[in-house]
Chains A and B, each alone.
Chain A
Amino acid sequence: MAMNYLYPEYEAARNYDRCITCRACERQCANGAHEYVEEADKMVCDDSKCVNCHRCVALCPTRALKIVKSGNTYKENTNWSGKIINELYRQAESGGVLLSGMGNPENFPVYFDKILINASQVTNPSIDPLREPMETKVSLGAKPRDIERDENGRIINNLPPQLSLSMPVMFSAMSYGSISYNAHESLARAAESLGILYNTGEGGLHEDFYKYGKNTVVQVASGRFGVHPEYLNSGMAIEIKIGQGAKPGIGGHLPGAKIVGDISRTRMIPEGSDAISPAPHHDIYSIEDLRQLVFSLKEATNYEKPVIVKIAAVHNVAVIASGIARSGADIIAIDGFRGGTGAAPTRIRDNVGIPIELALASTDKRLRDEGIRDNVSIVVGGSIRSSADIVKAVALGADCVYIATGALLALGCHLCRSCHSGLCNWGIATQVPELVKRLNPDMGYKRLVNLMTAWRHEIKEMMGGMGINSIESLKGNRLMLRGVGLNEKELAILGIRHAGE
């Protein structure tokens, strides 16, 4: 190209005093950014190929590399920012829709960061979790309204199927295809070791992973890939995916190039064919239609598995959730606008949906007001970043949270947001065998277990501070939260008071 409007956003800064030309950076960059120049016995870097994934930085044995923001700048303009100008140039060049990976990175409020947690002083004792029992176990599913007794007065067990988790966390849906075999294996083994669940995503379940069934949620999405009776019965719950926080109202598209070998077999579609998930389920146009699918799936699994309905957090989320709670579903999963994705149109990702904190608070309130809160459990996802976010989510009314981006970070993801390129240098969002093997599941699952174990300790510490010894007693306990820097409307929606009140 004779003229290039786009200057690289990042530069790999190399300290030549420390570089020993071992060429690890060159060998590990699937984008081909680094190159060894024989004549000069020197490494060079084509910054235009760098996606800022930090693979070379992490592996450089002498710490000779770091990635810096390139100093190139346009004339300052708060309206036409450099980012907007670059995106416009890119589209003028390509004529295409902009694509991005992972969650919305834009400067919208993060309500979790404007909420503070309470602690006990003097008038009520705090609890030391190292000395006293502390319960983080949760049970998800519809809870019966009444106690039923037989003619002899004995209690009849009318409890619908439940999911039992050692802590209020599940790994959320990421399909085999969007992420690698090794990433799936890491998640499955970590879920098994932790006593929680992971989610297959919409790509079916690889035959090697049926053995993790007791820790699996199987997903049924609009493409219905890899769905068959054995699949439905293999997990502990079935999730109907209506929407995803990163791209509400949008379907999915896994390029044919990724539909190879096992992925083709698992998805039950021919090799090389594009896997297209339609935007809507073509058999669901109402809550009544949804009810039919919920009960079809229950019928197919002998009413032994709870059914989850997952929706994106959108404007009328509370009303939609009310409908879902009446559809026979056992669990509602709500995915906020910061939720991740393998690929989404940038404009959708960055401009559609609402914050999960507000969606959760309004849904919980609505269901309680309507007296149907116990019909369903609520699971929320969309950028749960720490144990504090979990505690705040539970206090706002969630039964459990979904974690995906955080889990991928534990596996090595550096949020370079280039998942859609298929060349993930960390072996996560790729199907290239040489890249997939960079993620060793033996190491990956341990890192996930470490992360969740650490978070569980922190959750117990925070609960102890509040004088609460069971996560169930924290659920919906909004008096334990206070807002800072929020306006009246925001406080009203969140159902919390301002700090100092």
Chain B
Amino acid sequence: MGCHLCEYYCAFAGTDGSDMARALKGIKINPRIKIEEKDGISFAVSCRHCREPLCVKGCITGALTVADGVITIDRDRCVSCYTCVLSCPYGAVSPSDDGAVQKCELCVKTAEGTPACVRGCPNNAIVFEERECAE
């Protein structure tokens, strides 16, 4: 419904604060999920966790890996070559504010496992479910 709250919950999940107001006050957020809007339709774009991910294939240092179907990034290995940014067909990988790239990692490292965008969506528009991917 275009409230963009998922973006803010995503940004908050990336911090270690317990209070959103303190964590995000005065900060221009750079979330890993982004809302695309046109003609009254809004859509949340985040990593699709592809079965054959081009970003992982293209990663020159092995910073991006797939584990349990989730594509995660090892920030220490990333050299910010942005090959993944260019190769992702969904535009789901982006440069972060402090070197390395960032992408949705389904909150496996943050927000107690359930993606923060899913928990925060007031209309259950974003859901988290396992899907058998079509070949």
Contact = CB atoms under 8 A, between A and B. Distances in A.
Interface of A: 17-20, 22-24, 27-28, 58-59, 61-64, 433-434, 437-438, 440, 442-443
Given A434-B40, A440-B123, A24 B5 contact: yes
A18 B21 contact: yes
B31 to A, nearest CB: 11
Interface string B7-26: 11100100000011100111
Q: Label chain B's interface by main secondary structure.
A: loop
B18 to A, nearest CB: 12
A61 B1 contact: no
B32 to A, nearest CB: 16
Nearest to A427: B1
| Chain B: number of interface residues, binned into ranges | 20 to 34
27 contacts: A18-B25, A20-B8, A20-B21, A20-B25, A20-B26, A20-B27, A22-B5, A22-B8, A23-B4, A24-B4, A24-B5, A27-B2, A27-B3, A28-B1, A59-B5, A59-B122, A61-B5, A61-B8, A61-B9, A61-B12, A61-B20, A62-B19, A62-B20, A62-B24, A437-B1, A438-B123, A442-B124
A443 B123 contact: yes
B120 interface: yes
A259 B80 CA distance: 55
B125 interface: yes
Interface of B: 1-5, 7-9, 12, 19-21, 24-27, 40, 120, 122-125
A27 B124 contact: no
The 6 tightest CB contacts between A and B, nearest first, are: A62-B21, A18-B21, A20-B24, A22-B8, A24-B3, A434-B40
A28 B3 contact: yes
Nearest to A16: B25
B78 to A, nearest CB: 28
Nearest to A442: B124
Interface centre among B4, B20, B21 (most CB of A within 10 A): B21
A38 B60 CA distance: 40
Contact of B40 (A17, A23, A433): A433
Contacts of B123: 437-438, 440, 443
B116 to A, nearest CB: 11
Nearest to B3: A24
